[in-house]
Amino acid sequence: MKEMKVDPIKDGTVIDHIASGHALQVTEVLNINRFQIVMIGLNLSSNKYGRKDIVKIENKELSESELNTIALISPSATYSIIKNFEVVRKSKVTMPQTIEGLIVCPNPHCVTTVERVPTRFAIETDDPVTVRCEYCEKSYGISEVRIRIHP
Amino acid sequence: MQNLISIRDLEKADIVHYLETATRIESGEIVPDMGDQLAALLFFEPSTRTRFSFETAMKRMGGRTLFMDGTTSTSAKKGESFADTLMTISMYSDIIVIRSAVEGSARYAAETVDIPVINAGDGANQHPTQALLDLYSVRKTQGGLENLTIGLIGDLKFGRTVHSLVQALASFSPRFYFVSPPHLRMPEDICTDLTAHGGQYTEVTDPESIIGELDLMYVTRIQRERFADPEDYERVKDSYVIDSSMLKGVKTNFKVFHPLPRVNEISTDVDGTEYAYYFQQAKNGVVMREAIISILLGDAS
């Protein structure tokens, strides 16, 4: 059995069990800025999922609501908050009820498209994930919408 | 702040409250007084009926209206943002009625201003005042809303009135027949919502096969521009025209509804029959809108 391929961190946030191939999208959605130390592991072996991705962010404790947005990309993800090399909190991401500002409404006639109003989507079903725009009221499968990447 | 933005926001009890209030206004039991109130009608999309019925409703209650024809108005052309236009108008008026092709614009307006907002139609999305007046008309003609068999015929894909009507009736155990050309079928999410609320539906292509079972038939216009191929339009257009010969053998309580304007989808020979209800339905729009305005402005008691 090989040792951990990614170094442990002293303080920060570890996001584990990300569906394989989705780690980069997770870092983009979380708006992790380039001055933070971020370690990304892709396609690591996992007993439960076969393959998984992992993201470690040094010196940054992400909020629960930020972390829960990961559920949109990978509902299987878990996170741990690390302080002085100890896990002080560990949880599975939970699907939020609404998502603000993150999803782009695909409807060209929606007010969020026409007037550049920040979007707000309600989560209608968890598995598969479907979302409904709270403005134009159209619902979409999660694969039909684009997640807005922060500049 | 109370608003009327979408039928999806209303509980069954809210719907009943709107309908009861309209009934009490029509009977003279409630006489709302809007003597010191001003409604701003912002119409960014052309409309005759909806605009006139809101104006009539407000004026019958002694109130006044401001009309802004957004399609030709100056502020948007000068580059003013939608939010700024709304904020300014809200400084002059007590309630805003908004019609726009932009879907979700009424909800955005309601979130922007501090006065009540009524959605008078937002693109292909919602038209809740039409849905409430339709329900009011259903209740007047059928004596109630529960367990009705209703045929919806025409363009069920793009017609916001039929979408709002299905959503509004969903909690009253309806049985729907959806009658449309194959590519203008009722959208899947509306069907899913309906069954989730306990309603049932069957899709058919021939209205004559089901007309004898119906309590009412709601007819909408099939627009030529919805067809990519003009030949397809020519092939189907006459299958969805209702004429008086089709009405033999209908139930005694049967009525024909239409949100108007009609082109040729209901033959004028139906107008004189006891089954035609569309002009009365338009008339009901005034009392329903009186009820909506007075509830939102807190003068419905």
* Cross-chain Cβ contact A135/B83 below 8 Å: no
| Owner of token pair 């003597």 | B35
What is residue A32's predicted lDDT score, i.e. its pLDDT?
77
Please list every residue in chain B whose beta carbon sits closer than 8 Å to the beta carbon of residue A110: 102-104
What is residue B239's predicted lDDT score, i.e. its pLDDT?
75
pTM of the model: 0.89
pLDDT tens per residue across span B169-200: 999 999 999 999 888 899 988 999 899 999 99
Catalytic option among B21, B51, B65, B99: B99
C-beta neighbour count of A100 within 10 angstroms: 13
Q: Is the peptide bond before B261 cis (omega within 30 degrees of 0)?
A: yes
Of B81, B83, B125, the CB nearest to A136: B125
Q: Is B3 on the interface with A (CB under 8 A)?
A: no
What is residue A31's predicted lDDT score, i.e. its pLDDT?
78
Pairwise CA distance, residues B280 & A65, whole Å: 52
Q: Is B126 on the interface with A (CB under 8 A)?
A: yes
Burial of B286 (0-12, 13-18, 19+ CB in 10 A): buried
Interval B244-264 mean pLDDT: 94
Range with the poorest average pLDDT among A109-118, B132-141, B288-297: A109-118
pLDDT tens per residue across span B81-115: 899 999 999 999 999 999 999 999 999 999 999 99
**H-type alpha helices, B70-225:** 74-77, 82-92, 105-112, 128-142, 160-169, 188-196
Interval A7-18 mean pLDDT: 92
What is residue A84's predicted lDDT score, i.e. its pLDDT?
95
Any idea of the CA torsion for B121, B122, B125, B126, to the nearest 10 degrees? -30
* Cross-chain Cβ contact B104/A110 below 8 Å: yes
Query: Per-residue pLDDT for B257 more than 60?
Result: yes
| Owner of token pair 């004559």 | B208
What is residue A147's predicted lDDT score, i.e. its pLDDT?
85
Cβ-Cβ contacts under 8 Å for B250 (sequence gap 6 or more): B211, B212, B214, B275
Instruction: Report chain A's mean pLDDT, rounded to a whole number.
Output: 89
Catalytic option among B74, B77, B78, B252: B78
Show the domains of chain B with their CATH numbers.
7-127+284-296 (3.40.50.1370), 128-282 (3.40.50.1370)
**Quick check: is B50 catalytic?**
yes
- pLDDT above 90 covers a percentage of chain B that reads 76
Residue type at B300? A
What is residue A4's predicted lDDT score, i.e. its pLDDT?
53
ipTM attached to this prediction: 0.89
What is residue A1's predicted lDDT score, i.e. its pLDDT?
47
Query: Per-residue pLDDT for B72 more than 70?
Result: no
Q: Is B157 on the interface with A (CB under 8 A)?
A: no
Query: Per-residue pLDDT for B273 more than 50?
Result: yes
Interval B236-265 mean pLDDT: 91
Interval B45-52 mean pLDDT: 88
Q: Is B123 on the interface with A (CB under 8 A)?
A: yes
CA distance A43 to chain B (A): 37
Q: Is A117 on the interface with B (CB under 8 A)?
A: yes
* Cross-chain Cβ contact B8/A138 below 8 Å: no
What is residue B74's predicted lDDT score, i.e. its pLDDT?
62
Instruction: Give the CB-side neighbour count of residue A122, counting CA atoms within 13 A.
Output: 8
Q: Is B280 on the interface with A (CB under 8 A)?
A: no
Query: Per-residue pLDDT for B269 more than 50?
Result: yes
Range with the poorest average pLDDT among A27-41, A66-80, A134-148: A27-41
